[in-house]
Amino acid sequence: MAKIVRFKKTGGPEVLAIDNIPDREPSPGEVRLKVKAIGLNRAEVMLRQGIYHEKPVFPSRIGYEASGIVDAVGDGVTKVNLGERVSTIPSFELSQTRQGVYGDSAIIPASIITSNPENLSPSEEAAIWMSFLTAFGALVYYGKLTANDTALITAASSSVGIAAIQVAKACGAKVIATTRYSDKKSAISSFGADCVIATEEEDFLKSVDKFTHGKGARLVFDPIAGPILGQLCSATSHYGTIFEYGALHTGKTEYPLMPMLAKSLTITGYQVLDFVTDPTRFAKAKKYIFEGISSGELKPVIDRIFPLSEIVEAHRYMESNLQCGKIVVTV
């Protein structure tokens, strides 16, 4: 029997339950993963709440990101070996509600698993791909960030935010990072940010203006949206780009037409699930991440590790916003 996390209605963390269900063999093109660690992401919270772009079908599985060992392969799978240590790649090819990886076993498309950099623990292996792929795609592949640029990274204490700081510094860029309160400023600075702004306690726009000498940031990397989008336009340099990769603000987001026109800005919707579907793009990202981890410029930051039996508490902790880094669940 496999221990699988499922939920039968949308709601808070308490709707998650561990069910014992018969394990099965993978179908053609699939592999079965003996899960060792699971990386938690906001997308899973949104699925559980019923506000994600994929809608749950009950009883719904959940989860994009896991590391583990291949213990069965389906017909037609040739590039994966039994016993191989791998991680899952967040992709449109995986349906959370049908193939989610929360549990001790997951059957997933062979096309969305990958080898890992050497010398990482299972928890670290479950903490690298969503974070660093998201940051690489926006800042490096599309944004072409350079040492002459300033990047503005909001929600900087998240695992993606911390990865974005590391990626931007590896490019040689200056980094402005935001967090709501000052209790996380020291930690965010330690990850490489040059300027950290506590937006609930400091004047955000004055701080950006002072740091950039009135020029603003060429690239903005934001998962919040909502009312902050207008402020981000004001904090962006002329001809700059704002990458919106999330929707943490669950209310209405109004398009800031006049601020965008005034500076000839580009506001781009971006998500990693689409970015990784192109093999060429993914190959470049994987090479970049492997080299960055090998050199020490990139390093997964884990805030806290929960056992699978405490999956409800792990989701509660994610929603508390107390974390600074990745939340991992081990099996």
Judge whether residue 66 has pLDDT over 90.
Answer: yes
Q: What angle do CA 158, 159, 164 make, to 5 degrees?
A: 95
What average pLDDT does the segment 74-87 reach?
Answer: 93
Give the chain's mean pLDDT. 96
Cα distance between residue 229 and residue 154, in whole Å: 11
Please report, for the chain, how many H helices and E strands are present, in that order.
12, 15
What is the widest separation between alpha-carbon atoms in the chain?
62
pLDDT in tens, 274-316: 899 999 999 999 999 999 999 999 999 999 999 999 999 999 9
Tokens representing residue 122 in the block: 């299972």
Domain 130-273 sits in CATH 3.90.180.10: yes
pLDDT over 70 for what percent of the chain?
100
Q: What percent of the chain has pLDDT over 90?
A: 93
Put residue 282 in one of left, alpha, beta given phi > 0 → left and psi -120 to 50 → alpha. alpha
- Tell me the pLDDT band of 195, cut-offs 50, 70 and 90: very high
- Write the DSSP symbol of residue 216: -
Q: In 136-227, which ranges are continuous DSSP H helix?
A: 159-170, 185-190, 204-211
Helix (H) or strand (E) holding 125: helix 122-125
Only one residue has tokens 């508490």, namely: 313
pLDDT at 109: 96
Which long-range contacts link 82-85 to residues 24+ away (Cβ below 8 Å)? 84/115, 85/115, 85/116, 85/122, 85/125
So what's the architecture of 2-128+301-330 in CATH? Alpha-Beta Complex (3.90)
* pLDDT above 90 (res 212): yes
What pLDDT was estimated at residue 197?
98
Kindly report the backbone phi and psi dihedral angles of residue 117, in degrees, each rounded to the nearest multiple of 5, phi listed first.
-60, 150
pLDDT at position 299 is 96
CA distances from 271 to 44, 74, 112, 245 (A): 14, 29, 16, 5
SS3 label, residue 49: helix
Collapsed DSSP state (helix, strand, coil) of residue 158:
coil
Comma-separated ranges of CATH 3.90.180.10 domains in the chain: 2-128+301-330, 130-273
Q: CA-CA distance, 73 to 248, in Å (whole number)?
A: 37
**pLDDT one-digit tens code per residue, 232-279:** 999 999 999 999 998 888 888 999 999 999 999 999 999 999 899 999
Q: What is the distance between the alpha carbons of residues 77 and 111, in angstroms, rounded to a whole number?
A: 9
Token digits of residue 39: 């990386």
pTM above 0.85, yes or no: yes
In sequence order, what E strands does the chain have?
A: 2-6, 17-21, 30-39, 65-73, 85-88, 105-109, 113-114, 150-153, 174-179, 195-198, 217-222, 236-244, 266-269, 302-307, 326-330
φ and ψ of 167, to 5 deg: -65, -45
pLDDT confidence bin for 10, thresholds 50/70/90: very high
Residue-wise pLDDT tens digits, 37-64: 999 999 999 999 999 999 999 999 999 9
